[in-house]
Amino acid sequence: MSYTDLSKAIQDEEVKDFSLDAINLVLAERQRQDDKWGEQNNHVAIWTTIIGEEYGELCEAVNETVFDNGTNKGGLENILKEASHVAATAVALIEGLLSEKEKQNGRIKAYLG
């Protein structure tokens, strides 16, 4: 089922599905990233490093929540925010790979190094 079909089914049946909410969070974060940084054409190694940094922040939010260290870096909202950053950055990597694949007539070797 496509996300469009899923969205219509949810509306028609008044069923709550969190997949669309999650996708919307990721899309909103991608827009925020583009607004902040502009179009990014990073090498795959740079994207991987950025994803690693975002994942580290997600881990920190989880740890601060689980272990309640008294900081403002924990809590469900911070975990959601950091998870959306990880997912959105992964989407940006995928966008770059697809763009490079198109430029290379189906080959992505140049983009990979």
Tokens of 76: 């469900």
Q: Which of 57, 96, 103, 97 is nearest to 80 (CA)?
A: 57
- Residue 113: is its pLDDT beyond 70? no
**Res 24: pLDDT:** 87
- Residue 13: is its pLDDT beyond 90? no
Q: Which of 14, 21, 30, 41 is nearest to 96 (CA)?
A: 41
Q: What is the mean pLDDT of residues 4-23?
A: 66
Count helices and strands (H / E) in the chain.
5, 0
Dump pLDDT digits (tens) for 17-50: 687 788 889 999 999 999 999 988 899 999 999 9
The model's pTM is 0.78
Q: Which residue has the higher pLDDT, 96 or 2?
A: 96
What distances in angstroms separate CA 51 from CA 11, 32, 43, 69, one per listed residue?
34, 16, 13, 25
